[in-house]
């Protein structure tokens, strides 16, 4: 059974040495590229390197060419840690980070930019204001917030995400004190927040929910939809056009992605 058009699944990253012979063939053609191979099995991939350094636009243009055989394929990219952890919002830093993502956005192949905040980023008035500033600095891009502290499930915190069109990353993480729990209600509220009969206020935007597998408990797990995670959205023939603007992006950890891809190759 094929996946709904607004459901995209793929791994976090693609450069892993131990994937050779499992996800990727041992003997590679001269024109082999990992992204072209992944695009055969998945329709999304997360760019991890942007968390640590900016990427050049010519690199993202190359990546677009390598996945062109899969018209459904989307990229997601992590926002640089200089913004989420060091709180740098200078115009030069913001412009430099955007430069490498413009080709993906203009080609309509950028699913979202993931703001991965540390556990210490709790819901406070100061952090709320910073989140709003961050949203305004990257107003051209679809943003998704990964909050690890449970305080972001409070009603006021949820309202901030809705009001400023920030998607929600529902992460599968090991439970610990005041950690963000898996929350299907939270994801559902956010999806409903931007969908209406008139569509989103920004005609270029769509509501995005991410389901991200943070760890591989008990070895490798091939799905982010275990009993601890909210169910993936299902769509009936009566689904409205507004509801179809929702996008769900599922990111697997490398061990689970390896398991999925190896089964599809056999």
In the chain, what are the domains? 7-265 (3.20.20.410)
Strand residue runs (E) in 19-135: 44-47, 74-78, 110-116
pLDDT tens, residue by residue, 248-262: 667 655 554 445 454
pLDDT tens, residue by residue, 8-58: 889 989 988 889 998 899 999 999 999 999 999 999 999 999 999 999 999
* Sheet arrangement for strand 74-78: 7-11, 247-252, 208-213, 167-172, 143-146, 110-116, 74-78, 44-47
pTM of the model: 0.74
Written as six digits, the tokens of 73 are 């394929």
- H helix count then E strand count, the chain: 8, 8
Q: Report the distance separating Cα 252 and Cα 76, nearest Å.
A: 12
Q: How many CB atoms lie within 10 A of CB 66?
A: 17
16 three-class SS: coil
- DSSP codes joined into one string, 46-80: EE-GGGTS---HHHHHHHHHHTTT-TT-EEEEEPP
Q: Which residues contact 204 (CB under 8 A, 6 or more apart)?
A: none
Task: Output the pLDDT for position 150.
Answer: 86
Split at pLDDT 50, 70, 90, the class of 91 is very high
Mean pLDDT for 110-125 is 94
Split at pLDDT 50, 70, 90, the class of 99 is very high
């Amino acid at each position: 059974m094929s996946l709904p058009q607004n459901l995209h699944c793929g791994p976090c990253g693609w450069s892993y040495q131990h994937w050779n012979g499992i996800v990727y063939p041992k003997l590679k053609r001269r024109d082999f590229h990992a992204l072209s191979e992944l695009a055969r099995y998945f329709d999304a991939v997360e760019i991890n390197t942007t968390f640590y350094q900016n990427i050049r636009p010519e690199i993202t243009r190359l990546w677009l060419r390598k996945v062109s055989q899969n018209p459904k394929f989307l990229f997601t990219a992590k926002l640089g840690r200089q913004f989420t952890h060091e709180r740098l919002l200078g115009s030069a830093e913001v412009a430099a980070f955007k430069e490498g993502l413009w080709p993906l956005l203009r080609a309509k192949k950028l699913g979202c930019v993931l703001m991965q905040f540390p556990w210490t980023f709790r819901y406070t008035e100061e952090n709320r204001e910073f989140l709003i500033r961050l949203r305004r600095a990257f107003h051209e891009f679809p943003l998704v917030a990964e909050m690890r502290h449970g305080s972001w499930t409070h009603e006021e915190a949820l309202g901030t995400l809705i009001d400023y069109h920030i998607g929600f990353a529902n992460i599968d993480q090991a439970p610990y004190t005041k950690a963000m729990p898996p929350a299907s209600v939270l994801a559902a509220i956010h999806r409903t927040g931007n969908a209406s009969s008139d569509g989103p206020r920004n005609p270029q935007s769509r509501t995005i929910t991410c389901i991200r597998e943070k760890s591989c408990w008990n070895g490798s797990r091939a799905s982010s939809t275990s009993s601890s995670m909210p169910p993936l959205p299902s769509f009936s023939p009566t689904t409205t056009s507004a509801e179809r603007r929702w996008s769900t992006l599922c990111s697997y950890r490398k061990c689970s992605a390896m398991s999925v891809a190896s089964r599809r190759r056999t």
